[in-house]
Amino acid sequence: MSTGIHIYNSLSRQKELFEPLKPPFVGLYLCGPTVYGEPHLGHARPAITFDVVVRYLRHKGFKVRYVRNITDVGHLVNDADAGEDKIAKRARLEQLEPMEVVQQYTIAYREAMTRLNTLAPSIEPTASGHIIEQINMTQSIIDAGLAYVVEGSVYFDVMKYNEKYHYGKLSGRVLEDLQASERELEGQDGKLNKADFALWKKAEPEHIMRWPSPWGDGFPGWHIECSAMSSKYLGETFDIHGGGMDLLFPHHECEIAQSVASCGKEPVKYWMHNNMVTINGQKMGKSLGNAINLSQFFSGDHPLLERAYSPMTIRFFILQSHYRSTLDFTNEALLASEKGLKRLLAANKSLKELTAPAANGTINTELDAEILGLCNDLDAYMKDDFNTAQTLAALFELSAKINGIKDGHISADSISADTFALLKSQFALFTEVILGLQEEDAASHNGVTDGLMQLIIDIRKQSREKKDYATSDQIRDALAAVKIQLKDGKEGTDWTYLN
């Protein structure tokens, strides 16, 4: 039976019908963080993108084994085969043991991901916990004649591999161009060719993160960890491999080469890549002063931020774009997202409180069909390469209907009981379960804000009832000064942020 789900595969560069290798099981691997610093926006986008993929596939009845690794060794400062290990460097600067750095930032990452309401992976393996698997895989590539040992380091022989297979199939890069264009880097002595990459690096005496191997004391290369751990937990060939587009080359290109070289099999059926995040139109980077940590978004404590943005606002903002589009963070856009999220969750809450239509009402067939169509669209958009942007747009169209019913513009009895029941179940399902958009935890920033706002609104109401207009005006003016507007309606008083 066809799943009807289409996924854009970076390998074939087109949308393909998703058919799992061994249904109902789906193996999904996502390249996780290198834990040497505070989690930032660049971490949030892949985590949320693939969280929704996992949630949707599980909703469709698949048993998803979701593996997301923690890189705690082997990722060098320049992303290639030279420079200091990122974690060792941070440990030196902070005068910590490298595993203290790993512990601190692994916890920070997990906390941030929990606040963003992403589900925990099924398995969260670490590179340092899989040294033996990486050594074994490296040995199998040497045995296949596609890697060579130079002074205690092992390099992948890209030229030789390319004679038999195709290096560059994922990224579309041409080996000859790579050979000519790659910068000369220090510490690459011993490589036969510039495009070759390290599977194992010899540890210099001052290098603290080191393990024994058949080639002497050293540490694994960055790319081999994902090949070793994905094949261990998901098999030599598995369904979906995800990551940011910045990982497509060299990281994922190298993963394909390593797997094909060691066992002769393509490791992945569907390669999925989320696009990158920019801040105020600029690439994010420490040197540009715009690398905003997630905790700074949550607290508002950064010069580029006008105020704090809740984790759910960040999640909503990310889902408002399709994962293959670029995404630009600005204060303006985030404020709009905050409002949009509030509207969506309010509609969800209202719908839960609405009672089913009376059986003897006159059905407005046009409206009934429109609501039915929108409910069906929710799934149709998700099936089309997980188009969360379109799904959210359909939810907003439904929100308008729900608000119409709530405020009496639309008679609840003009839609059929079946359509109403479908609306009720689908709206909550897609909002809460699949997109993972929920009311903020009461302890979080927005929960506190909502609680305080309710208190202020209640005090104002009491003062008006006592005809104490001085107090009620004072409250209104004070709120206006901090750009909060009160709106009195039939259902009571509501509040919004002013731009």
319 phi and psi, to 5 degrees? Answer: -75, -15
N residues, the chain: 499
Q: Which stretch binds Zn ion (CB under 5 A): 88-96, 224-232, 281-289, 384-392?
A: 224-232
Residue 298 CB, shortest distance to Zn ion, in Å, is 27
312 part of the interface to Zn ion, by CB under 5 A: no
3-state secondary structure of 193: coil
Q: Where are the alpha helices (DSSP H) in 21-164?
A: 41-59, 86-94, 98-115, 131-143, 158-164
Footprint on residues 386-445 left by Zn ion (CB under 5 A): none
91 part of the interface to Zn ion, by CB under 5 A: no
Rank residues 224 and 405 by Cβ distance to Zn ion and give the closer one: 224
Distance of CA 334 to the CA centre of its chain: 17
Q: Quick one: which of 31, 48, 137, 437 contacts Zn ion (CB under 5 A)?
A: 31
On whether the CB atoms of residues 112 and 44 are closer than 8 A, the answer is yes
Tokens, residue 419: 């359509």
Rank residues 256 and 347 by Cβ distance to Zn ion and give the closer one: 256
On whether the CB atoms of residues 290 and 304 are closer than 8 A, the answer is yes
On whether the CB atoms of residues 242 and 49 are closer than 8 A, the answer is yes
DSSP, res 384:
B
226 part of the interface to Zn ion, by CB under 5 A: yes
Question: What is the total count of residues that contact Zn ion (CB under 5 A)?
Answer: 2
88 part of the interface to Zn ion, by CB under 5 A: no
Q: What is the CA radius of gyration of the chain?
A: 27
What angle, rounded to 10 degrees, do the helices at 417-428 and 365-383 form? 30
Q: Which stretch binds Zn ion (CB under 5 A): 220-228, 277-285, 390-398, 408-416?
A: 220-228
DSSP, res 356:
P
Q: Which stretch binds Zn ion (CB under 5 A): 102-110, 222-230, 447-455, 475-483?
A: 222-230
Rank residues 227 and 290 by Cβ distance to Zn ion and give the closer one: 227
Rank residues 243 and 436 by Cβ distance to Zn ion and give the closer one: 243
Residue 126 CB, shortest distance to Zn ion, in Å, is 12
Residue 251 CB, shortest distance to Zn ion, in Å, is 5
Site string for Zn ion, 171-210 (x = CB under 5 A): ----------------------------------------
Rank residues 226 and 395 by Cβ distance to Zn ion and give the closer one: 226
Rounded distance between C-alpha atoms, residue 227 and residue 25, angstroms? 20
Q: Which residues are near Zn ion by CB under 5 A? A: 31, 226
